[in-house]
Amino acid sequence: MRKFLRIILNQIFKMQQKVYELPKNNLYSYSNGTSSSHITSFATMSLDAKKQKKTQLLREKVKQIVKKNIKTPEKLLEYVEKSGTKVVKIPYADKILSYVNEQEGFITPRSGFEALYLNLVLNRKISFKTPEMFVLRDLPVNIYVMSHQFHKWYAYKMGLPGYDEASQEKFKRVFEFSDSKKAQELSYGEIMALKEAVRRDMEAIDFVLELSKEHEGSKKTLDKIKNGEKATL
């Protein structure tokens, strides 16, 4: 998945390059709250210092929380719930979510008839809007799967871009945009928003890969020490 997302990012960069080749008097702007970009054929200026700082802070905060609960992943769900995000553990959650093209874990706010469906099934109420939620089967929590979803949730709560409904809908169809003809139908704003959504998921995947290497490495070292073997750091 990570390799494919990298391919999609490269495709998006190529699409951006075509924007740069437009006549000089063409100016494209994109703003997502934490960063803004202004594009002409000769210059690119990105004002994203806030986003870079937030991304670094995100990684540090999530790492601190996850490592503290590495052996008790259920406590991550408790943290989420205490922060005001609804947590739903229900049988067949995977099947329920598949009808609205969602997967178990962190669900960003939805609207329209899909939100109505989620509200009727999960919240037993009638509303065309849902808040952010965690929806899972009532099974033991896997620390790595949970860490991936927790990272995305924390990024959303910090206000990092890529989690608006339109961007998330395109991200769920990201495989379609590997087709250059399909990708060229996107506007510049849609390209930038999709890139942010892809980046957020890649950041979460990278975090889990790093966590697994650190945790498994520490575990193997501890096992060697217990068995009286020499352990290298």
Own/partner contacts of 117-122, CB < 8 Å, gap of 24 or more, are: 121/96, 122/88, 122/90, 122/96
Residue 41 is predicted with a pLDDT of 41
Would you tell me how many other CB atoms lie within 10 Å of the CB of residue 10? Answer: 10
Identify which of 55, 90, 36 has the alpha carbon closest to the alpha carbon of residue 107.
90
For 69, phi then psi, to 5°, come to: -115, 25
Pair 168, 9: CB distance under 8 Å: no
Helix (H, G, I), strand (E, B) or coil at 28: strand
Report mean pLDDT in 10-residue bins for the chain, 233 residues. 57 54 46 52 54 92 96 96 97 95 95 96 95 96 95 96 92 74 78 89 94 74 46 34
User: What's the confidence (pLDDT) of residue 193?
Assistant: 87
Give the type of residue at 61: K
For the record, the structure tokens of 29 come out as 């702007």
